Amino acid sequence: MKGFCEKCRDTVEYTVKMVNKEKTIKGRTIKYVGKAAYCDECKEEIFIPEVRDFNLRELDASYREAENLIKVEDIEKILEKYDIGKRPLSLLLGWGEGTLTRYINGDTPTKPYSDMLKRILEDRNYYRDILEKNKGNISPVAFHKSMEAVEGINTATGNEISKIESAVKYLLMQTSEITPLALQKLLYFAQGFQKAFTDAFMFEEDCEAWVHGPVYRNVYNKYNGYGYNPIEEKELSHEGINLTEDEKELLDHIVLYFGCYSGKILENMTHSEEPWRVARRGLRDWENSDRIIEKTEIESYFNSVKEKYKMLNLTDIKDYSQDLFSKLYCLR
């Protein structure tokens, strides 16, 4: 590889190294891992366009992650999933017609706009409501194409439900009484241990670091009417549950080793763990937040738990749950 070195005043061979970088954006210092190119002759850093472009992409990704903003690739997934163009989607949402184009070209969205896009990607019913409500903002052709895409998602899934909906349904069937608070925590533990044992998350939804612990917002919205009372779902059956036998087995162990505790105890357990604590840094105990508990934090923490407790199979989860309970309630 060759580039121009200003010190040597010549075209030289160069070496690229990974380096820690940081930049202040809107008053916030963003740290990221970038690249630097060094002249093989004088060892001074030189300018290489490809290195600069790489660093800009990494900085953008790190800034979006720090601010919990939607990624460009996720915006592109929305357009593909719902067969909608950038301009029509912008108009559907009541934004300027070039807004989505700017976001895809690198501009960062505001937090409210980002949250709306994240929800659209996650919840096709939410998008469908927007599409029907604001269809007058786009052409009939664009409306029908996008509605066909939404209907196609429903047809493709048939009677199956999403992974997280399946996990909720299965947990409700495997427990005699479970409150919304306890359900949220069992989902969180299932997500963490599934990743630790299989290197894959059970469901794609992110959880948020709320005052009372990790919360999956769509699940909260569905069951919050029960308050602190057990959830009562009538006529539950295994029909349509979209889980593998291994996933069901893991959920069985989560129920066995964590389902024996109350929602409040489970809340305190998650409060003692790093993912929730990291997500809420700088917040007061009672301060509401929709900060995402990053999947990377969940992965790192539960991998460390699996290693610390030398877990070889799912029954070893028992050691962690009992130890956590003892530390919180037996040694005070």
Record the tokens describing residue 33, joined without a space.
């891992």
- Rounded CA-CA distance 153/66 in Å is 32
Last residue of a domain, one of 11, 37, 66: 66
Q: Does the pLDDT at position 206 exceed 50?
A: yes
The model's pLDDT over 125-163, given as tens digits with 9 standing for 90+, comes to 889 889 999 999 999 999 999 999 988 875 544 456 789
Angle between helices 245-258 and 180-198 (to 10 degrees): 130
Last residue of a domain, one of 116, 141, 157: 157
Give yes or no: residues 58 and 174 share one domain.
no
Give yes or no: residues 170 and 216 share one domain.
yes
Burial state string for 50-80 with b = 16 or more CB within 10 A and e = fewer than 16:
ebeeebeebbbbbbbeebbbbebebbeebbe
Q: What percent of the chain has pLDDT over 90?
A: 66
- Rounded CA-CA distance 317/331 in Å is 21
| Number of domains within the chain | 3
Give yes or no: residues 147 and 238 share one domain.
no
Give yes or no: residues 187 and 84 share one domain.
no
Give yes or no: residues 303 and 261 share one domain.
yes
Name the pTM for this structure.
0.55
Give yes or no: residues 146 and 201 share one domain.
no
Give yes or no: residues 136 and 185 share one domain.
no
Supply the CATH number for residue 48's domain. Answer: 3.10.20
The model's pLDDT over 241-286, given as tens digits with 9 standing for 90+, comes to 888 888 999 999 999 999 999 999 999 999 999 999 999 999 998 9
Last residue of a domain, one of 109, 131, 157: 157
Record the tokens describing residue 179, joined without a space.
């409150």
The model's pLDDT over 155-198, given as tens digits with 9 standing for 90+, comes to 544 456 789 999 999 999 998 889 999 999 999 999 999 999 99
Helix (H) or strand (E) holding 197: helix 180-198
Instruction: Domain of residue 151: give its range.
Output: 72-157
Contact 216, 164 (CB under 8 A): yes
Give yes or no: residues 241 and 207 share one domain.
yes
pLDDT at 133: 92
Give yes or no: residues 274 and 182 share one domain.
yes
Give yes or no: residues 77 and 147 share one domain.
yes
Burial label, 272 (beta-carbon count in 10 A; 0-12, 13-18, 19+): exposed
Give yes or no: residues 144 and 266 share one domain.
no
Give yes or no: residues 213 and 302 share one domain.
yes
